Chains A and B, each alone.
Chain A
Amino acid sequence: MNGTTSTETTSTTIVERLPARDIDLSCRPPLMLFFGSGLIWLFVGTLFALIAAIKLHGPGFLANIPWLTFGRIEPAAANCVVYGFGVQVSLGVLLWMMCRLGGMRLLFQPALCVAGFLWNVALTAGIVAILAGWSTGCEWLEMPHFSAVLMLVAYALIGVCAITNFHLRRDRALYPSQWYILGALFWFAWIFSAAYLMLILAPVRGAFQAVVNAWYISNLTDLWFASVGIAIIYYFVPKLLNRPLYSRPLAAFGFWTLAFFAQWLGMTRLISGPVPAWMPSVSIAAAALMLVPLISVAMNWYLTAEGRTNVLRQIDTGRFIWFAAISYVVATFALILMGHRSTAAVTQFTYAEVGRTALVLHGFLGMALLGALYYIVPRITEFQWPALKHVRLHFTLYAVGVALLVFGLFAGGILQGLRMNQSTADFVALIKSTVPFIGISTLGLLLLLAGQALALKNFFTLSHRSNAHVRAYAIDFITGRETIRRGA
C-alpha cells in the first residue's frame, strides 16, 4: 500500500471499486444539504463574532438589546461556527472521503438528509435559545437540552449510516485518513453525549462541572477537529500532487500517539484552578507529549510534498490545504507552549486562549474544510464554480483575515496577561490597552465575513443551476422523453 496514493488504488480490492463519478453523484443530496447549511452558519457565526468584537471597542454598541448583549452573542457565534459549520461540514467531507476511499456509493442518502435537516433545526432552536437567554452556561454546550438531544439523535443517525457505509466498503485496505475518520465518528458521539449528560441532563456538582467541560472542549478542538483536519490533509496532499504518502508506519505512529495523548489535554485549562493539583499536572505532561504526534504528522506531510509545495499552492484546493497544515503546526506548538505552567500564568484567562481556538477553528479546520468543499462540490454536482476567481479571492480574504484575527488576539492577549500580572496595572487601563489589538482582529473578522459572503454566493448560484438541471432531468425522465446529457 505504500507505493500508491491508495486513494484511487484497486490493488487489494476484493470487489471492484466503482468509478469515481458514480461515487460522487451518489453523495450529492446529503452533502449539498450539509455544505449549504454549513456555509450559512459560517456566515452567521462570523457576523455574530463581528458584532461581539465591535462591542469590545465601544460597550455602547447595541447595548440595549438583551438578545444581542455580549454574553449572549459571543456564545451564539461560537456555537454557529463549531456545530453549524465545523461539525456539519466535517461530517459531509468525512462521508465523501469514506466513499471515495472505500470505492463505494454513499448509501442511505434519505436517512442522511433527514438527519442533516434535524441537525439544522435543532441548532437553529439552540442558537435562538442562547440569544433569548436560555443558555446552559457551560462553554460550547450552551444550547439547552431540547436542542442537544435532537442534535445527538441526528448525529447518531449520521454515525450509524457512516459506520454501515464504512463496513460495506468495497476496497478493504485502509488508508490513514480512514483511521482518523473512524476515530472522529466515534469520538464525537462519546464526548458530546458524555458531556451533555454530566453537565445538563444529570449535572454533576460544583467544580467537577468545570472538569467535564474542560475535558469536552479540549477533546473537541484538539482531538476531534484535529482528526478531521488531519484526515483531509492526508487525503488531499498525495492526491493533488499525485504522489504516494511518504510513510504509512509514520502515519500510524502519529495516529496512535494523537489518540492516546490528545485526550488528556483538557485540564491545562484548569492550571491553578479549583481542582486537585494532579489533574492539571497530568494534562501539562500530555501537552508536552503532543510534540510527538505533531512531528510525525508534520514530517509525513512535508516529506510527501517535498519540493512540490509550490505546485500545491497553485491549485485552488491545495492552497487551502497547505494553509491548514501550517495552521495545525502553529496551533499545536501554541498548545504545547501554553500548556506549560509558567506560560499559562500569562496566557490564562486572556485573549491568547481565544486566539488559539480561532486558529484551530478557522486557520486549520475551516481552511481544510473549505478546501475540500471547493474540490468536492463541482464533482458531486458536475457543475463548475460559477466564479472561479471568487474561490481564489475567498482564499486570500480568509487567509489574511485569519492571520489578522489570530495575530490581534495573541498580541492583545499576551499584553493583557503580562499587565495583569503586574499587580500595579489598573484593570480598566489594561483592558483599554488591548483595544487596538482587538481592532486588528475585528478587521480580520470583517475580511472573513466578506470571504464567507463570496463563498455563499458562489455556492448558491451553483446549487441553483444544478437543481434546475436535476429538475429538468427528472421531468424528462418521468415524462419518458429522451434523457438529456448532463452539462460539464
Chain B
Amino acid sequence: MNAGPLVFLGILLSTALSFWGLVIAPAFQLGRQDLVETGAGPYPTGRTGAAQRGAEVYRSLGCVECHTQQVRPRGYGTDIARGWGVRRTVAQDYLRDQPALLGALRIGPDLSNIGARSPDIRWHYEHLYNPRKLVPGSMMPAYRFLFDKRKLAGTPPQNAIVDDGYEIVPTEDADALVAYLLSLQSQVSLLEAPLPAPATNAVPGDAGTNAPAGDTNTAAKTNVAAPTP
C-alpha cells in the first residue's frame, strides 16, 4: 500500500458505497413520499402562518436540544404507555417539517403530540412563563423573555396572564410558539402506522402534565382536529 492513488481510490469507493447505501437509496424511498389522503383531507395538514412562524421560534431557541419529536413503537420503550402518542411516528408525519426537528435527547418529554395532550392555549402561556407553577420540580427554564411584563392598566389583552397587579403579555414570538406547539399532533391513522382499535375507557385525564398518562391503549382518538389557532 505505497501507491497514493490506489489508496485514494479505495477511500473513494468506501465513501461512494456508504453514500449510495445510506443517502441515495433512502432518497428513492423517502424522497418519493407525498401527501396521503385521509378522512380529513391530505396529511400532513399544513400549518397556519402563526404556527409556521412558531416552528422558527422553536428552532431558534433550540427546543430540540431537550425535546424529541418521535414516538417509539409499542413494545420498544414506553413512549406510548406514557401517553406521548397513540401510535409510533413515521416518515409521513414529518413531510412538511423544515427542518425536521426529531431531536436526540430527552431532558424534557417528547412533544410529537403536545398539541393533543395539552390542548389548552392558556396552559402553554403559563407553562412557558413559569414552568414550575404548573409542573412542580420541572427542569425547564422559564422563557420570561418571550413575554412583556407591564403594570396592569385597564383590561389586559385576552392572551395575557394577570399576576398580582401586573399583566404578562406574550410577545409575537410567544404567540407563534404556542400556535406551533398546539399544531404538534401526529394521530392520524396511516397505512404504515394504524391507530390501535378504539377502546371503551376514558381519555387520559392528566394530559398536559409531565406525569405519565397510564395505559393509553384506551386513549385512541381518531383523526386530528381542525388546525389550531
Contacts and interface: CB of A to CB of B under 8 A. Distances in A.
Interface stretch (A305-313, A348-356, A475-483): A348-356
B104 A353 contact: yes
B142 A59 contact: yes
Contacts of B26: 208, 211, 275-276, 279
Contacts of A203: 98-99
Interface string A267-284: 101001111100100110
A260 B104 contact: no
Interface stretch (A71-79, A384-392, A440-448): A71-79
Nearest to A256: B10
Given A273-B102, A350-B106, A264 B77 contact: no
B33 interface: yes
B15 interface: yes
Q: Is the interface of A mostly helix, strand, loop or mixed?
A: helix
B102 A55 contact: no
B96 interface: yes
A124 to B, nearest CB: 19
Contacts of A431: 107-108, 139
B224 to A, nearest CB: 17
Interface in B42-94: 59-66, 68, 70, 72-73, 76-78, 81-82, 88-91, 93-94
Interface stretch (B117-125, B130-138, B154-162, B194-202): B130-138
A55 B106 CA distance: 15
Contacts of B225: none
Contacts of A219: 18
Given A70-B62, A70-B65, A351-B105, A63 B142 contact: yes
B11 to A, nearest CB: 5
A349 B76 contact: no
Given A64-B145, A187-B15, A274-B102, A211 B22 contact: yes
A66 B19 CA distance: 38
B152 interface: no
Contacts of A424: 212
Interface stretch (A25-33, A172-180, A233-241, A331-339): A172-180
Contacts of A46: none
Contacts of B7: 174, 179, 182
A211 B105 contact: no
A160 B64 CA distance: 36
B62 A428 contact: no
A118 interface: no
B36 interface: no
Interface string B1-22: 1111001101110110111011
B73 A428 contact: no
A212 B4 contact: no
A208 B30 contact: yes
Nearest to A67: B145
Best-buried of A172, A179, A206 by chain B (most CB within 10 Å): A206
A196 to B, nearest CB: 13
A264 B78 contact: no
B97 interface: yes
Given A138-B99, A186-B8, A273 B23 contact: no
B40 interface: no
A373 to B, nearest CB: 26
21 contacts: A1-B2, A55-B141, A56-B107, A60-B141, A70-B65, A72-B62, A75-B62, A137-B101, A173-B2, A206-B30, A206-B96, A215-B22, A259-B10, A264-B21, A264-B22, A272-B76, A274-B70, A279-B26, A354-B105, A422-B78, A428-B210
Shortest 10 CB-CB distances between A and B: which pairs?
A71-B62, A263-B18, A423-B81, A133-B60, A206-B94, A207-B91, A137-B59, A259-B14, A423-B78, A208-B30
